[in-house]
Structure 1
C-alpha cells in the first residue's frame, strides 16, 4: 500500500497554514536534488539551507503561522525561517540527514523522491508533445516487429507510452469539464473571462487542443501503428520471438510472456482505436465552454435602450399619485412582442458528412486517343541534338561531305532537323558538342532543298 512506503506525516506541511511556503521550498529543492549534472545523490546540508533561504527571499515570505507550542508568531530573520522549514521537513520525512566524517549530507528516500517528482509534474503541468508521443509509439512498434529477438521489449515501452497518452487525453477532458463547471458557477463576467483565457486558451487550447486541429496532425501515424500491430497479431513466428525475448528479459514463464505480449498489443490497438471518439467528446465540451463564454461577453455590457427616459416618466407618474394610491411595480421592463429574435438561438454544430464510396470514373477512349495524338505531334515538333545528329548521319551515309541540295526532306521531323543543321550552336551545350564533329561552309548562292526550303547554299563535312 501507499503508506507502507511513505512516512505518516509526509503531507502534514502541505496541509497546514504554511503550505504555500512549503510548496515553494519543495519546488526549489526539487531542482537541487533532481539536477542532471549532479552525480552524487548526497547533497551538502549547507547547500540545502542556502536553497531554502533563496526561495524565501525570492518569493518574499514574511508571515509565518506557528506550528508548534512555544513557537513565536513572528520570524525575525530569513535564516531563522529557513531553519524552521528545514527542521520541519526533517521531522515529516521529506529529508534525511547522514554524516560522513565531519560533514552532514541530506538525501531523499526513493519513495519520497518519486512522490516529489509526481507533485512537481502536477504543479508545473508542462506542455505535452503529441507528435513526439505518437512517433515514440510508432518507432517502438517498428523496432519490436523488425527485430523481435533483440528489441522485443520496445513493445512494452510502446504500451506504456500509449497508456500515458490515453491518460493525458482523459486529463484534458476532465480539465475542460472542471473549467466549464467553475465558469457556470461564477456570476462575475470578469472572472469568467479571466478563467477562460488563463485556463483554457493558454493552458489547454494552445498547449493541447490546438495541436490536434493543425494540418500537421500527429494522429496521421495512427493508421501505420494499427496496421502493423494487426499484422503482428496474425504472425505466429514473430509473436513467438517476442514471447521468448520477454521470457529472457523479464524472468517469466513462456505462457506468461505470451499473454503479456498479447496484452500489450491489445492495449495499444484499443487506445488508438478510440482516439476519434475521445476527440469528439473533447470537441463537445469545448463547444459548450465557448458558447458559455460567448454568451457572457454578449450580455456583459448589455443595457436597455431608453431606460433613463422610462425611469423619468415612471417617477413623474408616481409623483402624481398619493401615497395610498401608488400602484405596485413588478418590473421596469415593458413586455415586447414575441418574435424569432426574442430568444437567442444557439449556433448549430456542423453535422458530420456521411461516408460515401469514391469510384474511379472511366475515361472515354476517344479522349485517350486524342491525348496520344497530341503527345505524338508534340514529340515530332520537338528538336534535340540527338535527332539532328541522327538526321545528319542518315543523309551523309558513307560520304564524308554533302551539299545542301542533296539533303532529303520527307517528313516534319526531317524539316525540323534540317532547319537546325545550320544553327547547331543554338541548341545549348549538346549542340556545341555536336557542332565540333562537323565543319560547315556557306556559299554566296541560294538553293532550294527538297522543294520545301529555299536557303543559302552550304557544304557540311565530318571532322576526323
Structure 2
C-alpha cells in the first residue's frame, strides 16, 4: 500500500501536489480571482518576461483594487502570516509554495512564470468558466477546412489530419457538455418554489448563459450541420485512397510525429475513422439538447400563461381579514356571521336556478366503414419502385454475365475496356473491385495499376481483370 500511495499516477504525476490547496480555504475566491488576473497581466502579455518585481507589482495592484483591509482580513482568517504593508509578498509565497508559480534565473535577475502543468490546469479552468458559449458552425467548419486542406495537398498539409481529429473529439465532448448542462439547468428550474424565482432562474441560467451561441440556426438555412455531409464524404474519400494515406504518412514522418510509414498509417486511419464516427453519430446528442430545450420552454410558457391564477386578487383580502380577526377582541368560541359569496339573496324561482348534474354524452352511432379500392396511381408507383430496385440490384450471376460479355472469350481485360453505357453498367463496373472478396473470387482476380481510368460516369484507380487458371487433376 505504501508503494501505491507514493507512486506517481499517469494523470496526476506531473501536477504539483499542493496545487488545489489555495482553493480549499476561506480565501479561495481571492486566489481564484488573483490567478485569473495574473493569467492576463503579466503572464498574458506577449513577448514580456515577468520578473519577480513585476509580479510583486501586479499582486499589489490587485490587492489595492480588491481593498487592502478586506484582503488582509481574508488572509488572516486563512492563517497566512502577514507583515504590515507587505501582504503581496505573503500571497506570492503562498502561490509559490503550492506550485502555481516557479522562479528561474535569467543571468542576473529572477524571472517568474506559471508552473507548466499549473498553466495548463488554470487555462482549462478558465475555458470551463468562459467557454460555455460556443459556435457550432465554427467547430464544424474548422473540421471541414482541415480535411479539405489535406485532400487538396496531402504532402504539406498532412498534419492537419491530427488537428481535425482533435477538433472533432472536442466538438463531440462539447455536445455532451451541452446536453448535461441543459439537463442541469432544467433540474434547477424545476426546483424553484415560486413563479418569480422560476422566471429569474430561467433568465440567468438559460438565457444569459446560453451554452450554444448559434442554437437558433440549427434548423435554419445557415445551419452548421449543412457541412456534415461534406465532412463525411471527404473522410470516406481519404480512407478509401491508399495512395493519399501513403502521402499523408510521408508528411507525418517529415513532420516528426511518426518514425516511419508503417508507424504512421494506422494512427492516420484511426483519426479519419474517428472524424467520420463523430459526425455520423451527432443526431442523438442534438435530439437530446432539443428535447430538453422544449421541456424548459414549455414550462416557462405555462408559468406565463397561468401566473395570474397562481396569485389571485382575493389573496390580499383574505390576508387582511385574517389580520383583523387576530387583532379583534372576539373570544375563541364566538361565532362570526359571514356572508358567503355564493349565498342566494332570493329563493330560486325555476329549475334553471338549481344545480343540475351535467348531461351524459350520447354514444356515437355506429357506422359502416367503406373500404376504398387502392389508388391506381399508387399501384403504378409501387410497381415502378420494384422495377427500379430490380434494375439496380447486383447479384453474382448478373456481375458474372457482365464480366463475361466484356471479356468476350479473352483471358484478361483492362479497366478502360469495360463498357459503361448506362446505370446498370455503372453499378456493375463499380462492384468489380470487390470481386476478389465475393463469390467470383474463385474465377477471376484483379491486379491494380498506378494509372487512373476515366469515363463519363466515374474516375477510379486502374486495374486489370484476368481469369484464374483452373487446376485439373
TM-score range relative to shorter protein:
0.5 to 0.7
Alignment deviations for residues 52-96 of structure 1 (CA, whole Å, 9 cap, x no partner): 222223334614143665847xx96xx533222111101111112
SS in structure 1 at match of 2:210:
helix
Q: CA 1:212–1:34 in structure 2 vs 1: closer, same or farther (change >3 Å)?
A: farther
SS in structure 1 at match of 2:157:
coil
Alignment deviations for residues 176-205 of structure 1 (CA, whole Å, 9 cap, x no partner): 111111122222433332222122112216
* Distance in 2 between residues matched to 1:129 and 1:268, nearest whole Å: 18
Name the TM-score, length of structure 2 as normaliser.
Answer: 0.60
Q: CA 1:208–1:66 in structure 2 vs 1: closer, same or farther (change >3 Å)?
A: farther
* Distance in 2 between residues matched to 1:248 and 1:102, nearest whole Å: 40
* Distance in 1 between residues matched to 2:356 and 2:67, nearest whole Å: 60
**Cross-structure match for 1:233:** 239
**Residue correspondence of structure 1 range 419-458 to structure 2 within 5 A:** none
**Cross-structure match for 2:311:** 303
**Cross-structure match for 1:9:** 18
SS in structure 2 at match of 1:104:
strand
Alignment of 1:64 with 2:77, yes or no, is no
Alignment deviations for residues 153-198 of structure 1 (CA, whole Å, 9 cap, x no partner): 2111111111111111111111111111112222243333222212
Q: How many residues align?
A: 327
**Cross-structure match for 2:119:** 113
Deviation at 1:276, TM superposition (A): 2.5
* Distance in 2 between residues matched to 1:87 and 1:315, nearest whole Å: 62
**Cross-structure match for 1:418:** none
Deviation at 1:322, TM superposition (A): 9.6
**Residue correspondence of structure 1 range 204-283 to structure 2 within 5 A:** 204=210, 207-249=213-255, 250-283=257-290
* Distance in 1 between residues matched to 2:115 and 2:356, nearest whole Å: 73
The answer (yes or no) to whether the contact 1:141–1:158 under 8 Å persists in 2 is yes
Q: CA 1:55–1:337 in structure 2 vs 1: closer, same or farther (change >3 Å)?
A: farther
The answer (yes or no) to whether the contact 2:25–2:78 under 8 Å persists in 1 is no
Alignment deviations for residues 249-300 of structure 1 (CA, whole Å, 9 cap, x no partner): 3224434322112111111111111222221110001011122333334444
**Cross-structure match for 1:46:** 53
SS in structure 1 at match of 2:86:
helix
Alignment of 1:203 with 2:245, yes or no, is no
Superposed CA RMSD: 3.8
The answer (yes or no) to whether the contact 2:168–2:275 under 8 Å persists in 1 is yes
Unpaired runs of 5+ residues, structure 2, are 1-9, 337-354, 359-380, 382-473
Work out which of the two has the higher radius of gyration on C-alpha atoms and give 1 or 2.
Answer: 1
**Cross-structure match for 2:468:** none
Deviation at 1:131, TM superposition (A): 2.5
* Distance in 1 between residues matched to 2:144 and 2:317, nearest whole Å: 70
The answer (yes or no) to whether the contact 1:130–1:211 under 8 Å persists in 2 is no
Identify the match of residue 291 of structure 1 among 268, 273, 298: 298
* Distance in 2 between residues matched to 1:292 and 1:160, nearest whole Å: 37
SS in structure 2 at match of 1:176:
helix
**Cross-structure match for 1:451:** none
Q: CA 1:150–1:69 in structure 2 vs 1: closer, same or farther (change >3 Å)?
A: closer
The answer (yes or no) to whether the contact 1:24–1:55 under 8 Å persists in 2 is no
Deviation at 1:147, TM superposition (A): 1.9
**Cross-structure match for 1:161:** 167
